Structure 1
């Protein structure tokens, strides 16, 4: 028989409150995290998912030309010009109507190291997974290890096949290969953009960034235009 078997929920809450009252702040934090970390993580992930779904439902009222996630980036707050780069420069480059949105998210820093995972890491991965599975992401820019992870799951478009001939000739020396974990097949799904002016002109600091187009992107043509824009700046 467990200590709480014959105790009502209300009585159990009183007992828990009495325990916490006698503890120091540090002990309270440790106790709550030790015994309730999984419910806490679940709530955080649920909040992120609900927020993402709500945001997606709201944004779906408007036309979106492109959705881009720049992962694991840092930025110089004084030099940050992401909005100008995408919402002004790229918009003008492709002649996009001002009433059509370009979404750029550079807030996420996903990690796949289980020893370093916490509730925020799980929440970010859940958010990114939701964006991908709902076709809410067109372009992913990230470190090679992040691109390798999603490339293993056949998450990206083969750029050798997708790029127009003239653009392929322009970027072929920068193509980045990924390997499908199931088939073992290697394909060039990424483009290294570290030698372009992307970092300087956006104010984003990235480690050997690779650009990819999601295999389920509904805006492939616009994503290809972004590659052209990046390499022509």
Structure 2
């Protein structure tokens, strides 16, 4: 019987690539994600720090206009002292690129670079599946959100809180965001706030402007 080494030598280039991917794909993906995270940590540690009052992440299937994106980033910084970050992604899938995007989102949460989310339903659902704590703040317990919740009462997303066992509002579903022209969205979005935002008042202001 031929050894694995002999079998590998007899393969053509395509067969070798398929063999390597079949047996070492998790090692390869782990290495890619590890290198990416180390790079992001270095970037976050060395980039000049701006003391933003709030951070907004917009992530879903979308097409971006880079020129308008820069204009909107400047507008949010001047108007709300907010950092606007676009992350085009299809959260209904989980291939190697999406694993990296997922790790990037987790890193941003850990370093407090996210307060307000405008995300796809798939991304919202994945966060709500996290066990052990409520990933988003209960919007119905934020007095400043009362008028918006009443306005969008037919589009509210609720769930049972792990903290008090009661039903709360954690998201507002919207078809699009008219004030964000840089992103052409291919799916409805869910607006929510992380628990707990750095500056609650500013986070509410950003949500009010978005919808």
TM-score by length of 2: 0.78
Distance 1:151 1:140, change over 3 A: same
Instruction: Report the 3-state secondary structure (helix = DSSP H, G, I; strand = E; otherwise coil) of the residue aligned with 1:30.
Output: helix
2:110 corresponds, among 133, 150, 159, to 133
Q: Decide whether the 8 Å contact of 1:152 with 1:182 is kept in 2.
A: no
Aligned: 1:42 with 2:26: no
In structure 2, the partner of 1:218 is 198
Task: Give distance in 2, aligned partners of 1:206 and 1:221.
Answer: 30
Instruction: Report the 3-state secondary structure (helix = DSSP H, G, I; strand = E; otherwise coil) of the residue aligned with 1:191.
Output: strand
Report deviation, 1:157: 1.3
Task: Give distance in 1, aligned partners of 2:29 and 2:187.
Answer: 29
In structure 2, the partner of 1:142 is 119
1:160 corresponds, among 131, 134, 140, to 140
Give 1 or 2 for the bigger CA radius of gyration. 1
Alignment of 1:46-195 (within 5 A): 46-59=34-47, 61-75=49-63, 77=65, 81-88=68-75, 90-94=76-80, 96=81, 102-111=83-92, 117-153=94-130, 154-164=134-144, 168-174=146-152, 176-180=156-160, 182=162, 185-194=166-175
Report deviation, 1:76: 5.1
- The aligned length equals 203
Report deviation, 1:81: 2.0
Task: Give distance in 2, aligned partners of 1:59 and 1:223.
Answer: 23
- Segments of structure 1 that go 5 or more residues without pairing to the other structure are 4-14
Report deviation, 1:181: 6.9
- Segments of structure 2 that go 5 or more residues without pairing to the other structure are none
Distance 1:152 1:31, change over 3 A: closer
Aligned: 1:29 with 2:17: yes
Instruction: Report the 3-state secondary structure (helix = DSSP H, G, I; strand = E; otherwise coil) of the residue aligned with 2:187.
Output: coil
Report deviation, 1:82: 2.7
Task: Give distance in 2, aligned partners of 1:91 and 1:131.
Answer: 18
Q: Decide whether the 8 Å contact of 1:151 with 1:180 is kept in 2.
A: no
RMSD (Å), alpha carbons = 2.9
Q: Decide whether the 8 Å contact of 1:158 with 1:189 is kept in 2.
A: yes
Task: Give distance in 2, aligned partners of 1:21 and 1:70.
Answer: 48
In structure 2, the partner of 1:8 is none
Report deviation, 1:198: 3.5
Q: Decide whether the 8 Å contact of 2:62 with 2:89 is kept in 1.
A: no
Q: Decide whether the 8 Å contact of 1:70 with 1:108 is kept in 2.
A: no
More strand by percentage: 2
In structure 2, the partner of 1:9 is none
Report deviation, 1:230: 1.9
